[in-house]
Amino acid sequence: MVTVTIVKIGYIGTTTLIDAILDERSARADIKIRVISSSVQMGEADAEDAAKIAAGVPSDLYVAISPNVGLPGPAKVREILKKTGKPIIVIGDEPSRKAVKSFPEEGIGYIVIYGDPMISAKAPFLDPVEMALFNADVIRVLAVTGVFRLVHTTLDKVIEEIKAGQKPVLPELIINKTAALAASDIKNPYAYAKAMAAYEASKEVASLSTEGVFKLEERSEAMPVLAAAHELMRMAAKLADEAREIEKANDTAVRLAHFKKGDLRRRVKLFEEPEK
């Protein structure tokens, strides 16, 4: 039994389901998952607080997920978790790509997801409903384009190594469009291209939201850009959906599910017997 403790500081799209993708049916008997989160708050004090609780949970593996892992809050989490001496994997969005460069020498693994964009978090635009809709779109893109597959199989591998009593090899993984799609198991070439386009559109969303949130001070200038970011995200989700529907129409939508002992079984044709 491996205990995986996940520390969530603030939100990226992957935060919503990062633990659930490890055991989608709650069927596994080989792992125990605990999640400690400071919710949307990313300040150093909040992060420290959550990390300390997490450090108090006897764990075999820590996963810390947040936006931009180079910020003080997420850094504090790593500082505290490192004291446990347990393996740590950090997951972040594209702005995290600079900070992670030094992680290997600290013995920390990382996964950086380029297609998990910042939300248009500015006062006159974002409310809970708009925020939720944005996340629904992001989740769809991450699910279809291979990101969630690549994240869970990467974590699955580390967990297997821990189960086997080995010192795990921690990931150093940048999920750009090539890496994501390679994990997507999409068979039709046009569906593959659609999913790749969705991933790039999703990545481009961050350019717009960043501009709208940080660069444009005039509300009248910022608002169209903030809204355009979310429209582009909705479009990306639609494109991902188109890709998935093609795979379904061809009965080639691959399923790779977790079973009791943590083993993964792969199946393609929906109404036929599972393969291992």
Decide: is 127 part of the binding site for a copy of itself (CB under 8 A). yes
**Cβ closest to a copy of itself, residue 39 vs residue 102:** 39
Residues 209-238 interacting with a copy of itself (rule: CB under 8 A): 220-221, 223-225, 227-232, 235-238
Residues 12-41 interacting with a copy of itself (rule: CB under 8 A): 16-17, 19-27, 32-41
Distance separating alpha carbons of residues 113 and 136, to the nearest angstrom: 17
User: What tokens were used for 200?
Assistant: 């790039």
Among 102, 106, 157, 190, binds a copy of itself (CB under 8 A): 190
Among 71, 81, 99, 196, binds a copy of itself (CB under 8 A): 196
Among 2, 125, 154, 171, binds a copy of itself (CB under 8 A): 125
- 8 A C-beta contact, residue 125 and residue 227: yes
Decide: is 257 part of the binding site for a copy of itself (CB under 8 A). yes
**Residue 79 φ/ψ region, left for φ over 0, alpha for ψ in the -120 to 50 degree band, beta for the rest:** alpha
Q: Where do the DSSP E strands lie in the chain?
A: 2-8, 31-37, 61-65, 88-93, 109-113, 172-175, 255-258, 264-267
Read off the DSSP letter of residue 156: H
Among 77, 158, 179, 253, binds a copy of itself (CB under 8 A): 253
Among 75, 82, 131, 172, binds a copy of itself (CB under 8 A): 131
Residue count, binding to a copy of itself (CB under 8 A): 106
Decide: is 174 part of the binding site for a copy of itself (CB under 8 A). no
Shortest reach from residue 79's CB to a copy of itself, in Å: 19
Closest CA to 199 of 249, 128, 153, 149: 149
**The pairing of beta strand 31-37 with beta strand 88-93:** unpaired
